[in-house]
Amino acid sequence: MRTEVHTDGAAQPGGTYSQGIVAGEFLFVSGQGPFDATGAVVGETFEEQAIATLANISAIAQAAGGRIEDAVKIGAYLHDQDDFPVWDAVCAKTFARPFPARTTTETNLIGFDIEVDAIIWLPNHASEGTVR
């Protein structure tokens, strides 16, 4: 069974996708960027945008009853690969060992510097709260 996850505490979908989908004990989070709930870009520096992006993922994880710290896989898409050291430092502040598996790719983002998707393990999975 697949269950949609939605929260007003993260950027709202701009297309035909869900913020997240719970399947079994895992939450699959769609690509999130540095946007607030109204769609405005948050942060002027790459670091600020990376932190805002992970805050969106964290809000979606919480809406599903989980925590960003339980991510098992993250994919990061950077506008400029030169920002990788800053991205790695932000990850070091967010995640603890064992770190999630991770892919980082440079891509042609327009108007913002980072997008991140995630797979998060939900060890105490319970469909309640804002899970649809």
Walk along the chain (132 residues) in steps of 10 and give the mean pLDDT of each run. 94 93 97 95 97 98 96 98 98 96 97 98 66 50
Is residue 85 within 8 Å of 129, Cβ to Cβ? Answer: no
For residue 14, the model assigns a pLDDT of 87
For residue 73, the model assigns a pLDDT of 98
Rounded Cα distance, 80 and 2, in Å: 34
User: For the chain, where are the E strands, in sequence order?
Assistant: 2-5, 20-23, 26-32, 71-78, 101-106, 114-121
For residue 36, the model assigns a pLDDT of 94
- Match 């670091």 to its residue by tokens: 47
- In order of their start, the domains of the chain are 2-121 (3.30.1330.40)
For residue 1, the model assigns a pLDDT of 85
**13 prior amide bond cis, ω within 30:** no
For residue 130, the model assigns a pLDDT of 45
Residue 54's identity, in one-letter code, is L
For residue 125, the model assigns a pLDDT of 66
